Amino acid sequence: MPNLFHSTAVPEGFVRKDRPRRNPIRLTPLIDVVFILLIFFMLASNYEDWHAISIDVPVQAGTLVNSEPNTVLIEIGPDRLRLSAETISRDMLLVRLEEQLLAYPDLVARIKPVNGVLLQETVSLMDLLSEAGIARMSLIR
């Protein structure tokens, strides 16, 4: 016959005393840490003023791009640059553009990216042209 006074079963509603009760997870310190991290990243962020690149659309798409003397066509490929159908290096491109800027101060650069060119390469070329003194640029297909 089982001993009823020394039973290991715990009756309902009673808590066993032999193991400690687990504390619930407190969310207040976690929220404080997240808030401090949010403030840190907001203060450490770089709020540089990004400028939009203005792009002019050619007046008539059917006309030849180099028909005007103050217009140059720069074709950018994945591994080459072409100035008016002549393959050229970046350094030589700057020299040629400086010569043309002396003759035509209102020089317009038409940039034609070829399939497979990354957008970053095109934007880098536009930055290079802007540093060279060309204020008017447009992308063409």
Question: CA-CA distance, 134 to 141, in Å (whole number)?
Answer: 20
With cut-offs at 50, 70 and 90, classify the pLDDT of residue 11.
Answer: low
Domain residues for 77? 66-139
CATH of the domain at 87: 3.30.420.270
pLDDT reported for residue 129 = 87
Residue 4 lies inside a defined structural domain of this protein: no
What is the edge-to-edge ordering of all strands in the sheet holding 81-83? 86-88, 81-83, 71-76, 108-113, 136-139
Residue 125 lies inside a defined structural domain of this protein: yes
The predicted model scores a pTM of 0.52
pLDDT averaged over every residue in the chain:
77
Say how many domains are in the chain: 1
Instruction: For residue 19, give the amino acid letter.
Output: R
Residue 26 lies inside a defined structural domain of this protein: no
pLDDT reported for residue 4 = 54
What confidence tens digit (pLDDT) does each residue in 28-86 have?
888 999 999 999 998 888 766 666 555 554 444 444 445 677 888 888 888 888 888 78
**CA distances for 56 relative to 86, 135, 140, angstroms:** 24, 11, 9
Residue 111 lies inside a defined structural domain of this protein: yes
